[in-house]
Amino acid sequence: MSDLTALSAVQLIAGYAARDFSPLEVTRAALDRAEAVQPKVNAFVRLNAEEALAQARASEDRWRRGAPTGLVDGVPVTVKDILLQRGVPTLKGSWSVREEGQEWDEDAPSVARLREQGAVFVGRTTTPEFGWKGVTDSPRHGATGNPYDPARTAGGSSGGSAAAVALGAGPLSLGTDAGGSVRIPASFSGIFALKPTYGRVPMYPASAFGTLAHVGPMTRDAADAALLMDVITGADPRDWSQLGPVTGSFRDGLSEGVAGLRIAYSPTLGGQVEVDPVVAAAVRRAVERLAELGARVEETDPPLPDPVEAFHTLWFSGAARITQHFSEEQRAALDPGLREVCEEGLRASAVDYLAAVDVRMALGKAMGDFHRDFDLLVTPTMPTTAFEGGVEVPAGAPNPRWTSWTPFTYPFNMTQQPACSLPCGVDGDGMPVGVQLVAARHQDALVLRAAHALYAAGVADIPGPAMAAGPGGAWSGVAGATPAGS
C-alpha cells in the first residue's frame, strides 16, 4: 500500500469508491503522522483520536453500503483553534479563554458543513492568540515550527493548519485569513490556500476583525480546495453578511486552463516592496509558465497604494474590542505584542475607523476598475521565505509589527477579493516560495482554475519536507509539540 498520508482528498475519495483502502485505515495513518510530527512542529493543540476513529468507522460502514453521506465522507480534516467545533474547546491560543464551565456545543458554519458531509475531525490546529499576527506562537500553546525546518516559523496565523497539511496529518484544513493568515503559512510551508471572496464562506461568530476576516481552505492542491469550497460555502442563517447561494460547483471548469486570460504581473507592487531575488525569480518563472499556457501576460502594477495605516486602524481596533472587558490579570497574561496593539486600538476614534473604511472603499473601487482590464493579478505571496521562529518580524524589519513583511497579502483583505497562494519553487536552503493569484470579487472559481493549471503544468512540484518521508521517501508536506488533549 502506498503512503496514505501522501494522498489528496480527491484521491482518497476515489480510493474509497474503488475499495482500495478504507476511511479507518486512512484516519489511523493521519493520526499516526500527527502524533509523530507533533513534538517537532507543534501543529496541534488537541488531537481527537477517539472521536476521529469513531467517525472513520461510521464512514467505512457507509462506503461499504455504497451510501457515502457527502463529498468528503471519511476524509481526515483539521480545524484551526479559532473556529467553533462541537464537543471540544476553542481556546484561541489564549489563557483568557476558560476551558471548563462552557458547553462547547456549537459548530462554526464551515465546521457544520464538513460534519454534515462525513468529514473525520483529526484535531485542532495551533494559532497565535486570537489569530492576531502573521506567525504562529502564543503564551498558551507555544510556537509552531516550519515543516521544512522547525527552527523557522510556519507563518500564521493559520500556521498549525499549514503544518498539518504539509506533513500529512489530513489533506484538508480550515483556516482563517484577515490579513494573509492562510496565504502566509501556505507560502512558507509549501501548500495551497485560498482566501475566498468575503462572505462566500459563512462565518459565525463574527470576527472581531470584522469584514477583513475570511474562512478559507488549506489543502494539498487547488483541486482539493475546489472540493472543500463545494462543502463549506453552504448557507448558514447565523451569518447576516454571507453571499447568496453558489451556482454550480467550484470543480466545474477547473481544467479549462488559462488560455486567453488577461494577466497582470506585478513583481513589487510598483516598487513598494523589496523582494528577495530568489523569490522574485521563482515567481517570474511561474508567470512565464502562464504565458506558455496561453495567457496574455503584461507586467504592470495595480492602483494600490500601501493601505497599512488604514489596515492598522481596523486591525488594532478589532484586537482592542476582543480584550475590551479583560481584567488587569487577563491583560498581563496576553502576548506582549497583542497587548501593545490593543492599547493602540483603544486610542482610535470612531472617526478614525470610518476614515479607514473610506480607504477600503476607494481601494475596492480602484481594484474593481483594474479588473475590467485584467482577469488576474499575479504577485509574490511573500517577499521572502520563512525566517526564524518565535519572533513577530525577521531581523532587519522596518517596524516591529507583522505587517512590515506581509505587503502582498493584507491589501486584498481590505478589498475583499479572492486570493490564493501556491508553491512555485524553493530557495537555496530548500524553503518554499509562494506565488499569489488575485481576481475580482466573486471570481473564486477563476482563481482556482488558474492555480489548477499551474499545478497541472508542474509549477508547484517542489521537494517535500523530510519529516513527511513515507516508506518510499519524501513526498510533499508535514510538521508538530505534545497535544494539549486527546
Alpha carbons 393 and 391: distance in angstroms, whole number: 6
Query: Taking the model in full, what pTM does it have?
Result: 0.96
> Which pLDDT does position 381 carry in this prediction?
98
Alpha carbons 402 and 99: distance in angstroms, whole number: 29
- How many CA atoms are closer than 13 Å to the CA of 364, on its beta-carbon side? 17
SS3 27: helix
Alpha carbons 231 and 431: distance in angstroms, whole number: 31
- Kindly give the pairing relationship between strand 142-143 and strand 137-138: antiparallel
> Which pLDDT does position 468 carry in this prediction?
84
Cell numbers 486570493: residue:
419
Between CA 167 and CA 172, with CA 168 as vertex, the angle to 5 degrees is 110
Alpha carbons 153 and 97: distance in angstroms, whole number: 25
Decide if 80 is catalytic. yes
460-470, pLDDT tens digit by residue? 999 999 988 75
Q: What is the mean pLDDT of residues 308-337?
A: 97
Q: Which of 22, 157, 161, 266 is catalytic?
A: 157
For the chain, the distance separating the N- and C-terminal CA atoms, rounded to the nearest angstrom, is: 28
Q: What is the mean pLDDT of residues 88-96?
A: 97
> Which pLDDT does position 475 carry in this prediction?
37
Q: What is the mean pLDDT of residues 383-397?
A: 96
Least confident of 32-41, 94-103, 406-415, 426-435: 94-103
- Domain spans in the chain, listed from the N-terminal domain onward: 6-468
Report how far apart, in Å, the C-alpha atoms of 342 and of each of 112, 135, 143, 205, 355 are.
31, 18, 21, 20, 19
189-226, pLDDT tens digit by residue? 999 999 999 999 999 999 999 999 999 999 999 999 99
Q: Which of 80, 92, 133, 195 is catalytic?
A: 80
Between CA 312 and CA 167, with CA 142 as vertex, the angle to 5 degrees is 95
Q: What is the mean pLDDT of residues 438-456?
A: 98
Cell numbers 475499495: residue:
19
Alpha carbons 7 and 448: distance in angstroms, whole number: 19
Residues 6+ apart with CB under 8 A from 113: 231, 232, 233, 234, 236
Residue 473 clears pLDDT 90, i.e. is over it? no
114-171, pLDDT tens digit by residue? 999 999 999 999 999 999 999 999 999 999 999 999 999 999 999 999 999 999 999 9
User: Could you tell me the fold of the domain covering 6-468?
Assistant: Amidase signature (AS) enzymes (3.90.1300)
Q: Which of 59, 110, 181, 476 is catalytic?
A: 181
Residue 188 clears pLDDT 70, i.e. is over it? yes
Cell numbers 523557522: residue:
152
- How many CA atoms are closer than 13 Å to the CA of 408, on its beta-carbon side? 33
Cell numbers 489533506: residue:
171
Decide if 181 is catalytic. yes
Q: What is the DSSP annotation of 107-167?
A: --HHHHHHHHTT-EEEEEE--SGGG-SSS-EETTTEEPBPSS-TTBB--SSSHHHHHHHHH
Residue 482's pLDDT band, with cuts at 50, 70 and 90, is: very low
Maximum Cα–Cα distance for the chain, whole Å?
A: 62
> Which pLDDT does position 365 carry in this prediction?
98
Evaluate whether 31 touches 47 at the Cβ level (below 8 Å).
yes
Q: What is the mean pLDDT of residues 21-36?
A: 98
- Distance from CA of residue 407 to its chain's centroid? 17
Q: What is the mean pLDDT of residues 409-424?
A: 98
Alpha carbons 106 and 85: distance in angstroms, whole number: 6
Evaluate whether 345 touches 331 at the Cβ level (below 8 Å).
no
Q: What is the mean pLDDT of residues 305-329?
A: 97
> Which pLDDT does position 416 carry in this prediction?
98
Decide if 157 is catalytic. yes
Q: How many CB atoms lie within 10 A of CB 98?
A: 9
- Ordered strands of the 376-380 beta sheet: 44-47, 120-125, 76-80, 172-177, 214-219, 192-195, 419-426, 432-439, 376-380, 262-265, 296-299
Mean pLDDT of the chain: 95
228-247, pLDDT tens digit by residue? 999 999 999 999 999 999 99
Q: What is the DSSP annotation of 315-335?
A: HHHHHHHHTTT--HHHHHTS-
Alpha carbons 486 and 64: distance in angstroms, whole number: 28
Alpha carbons 441 and 432: distance in angstroms, whole number: 28
- How many CA atoms are closer than 13 Å to the CA of 359, on its beta-carbon side? 21
β partners of residue 426: 432
Evaluate whether 76 touches 27 at the Cβ level (below 8 Å).
yes
346-363, pLDDT tens digit by residue? 999 999 999 999 999 999
* Percentage of the chain exceeding pLDDT 70: 96
Residue 56 clears pLDDT 70, i.e. is over it? yes
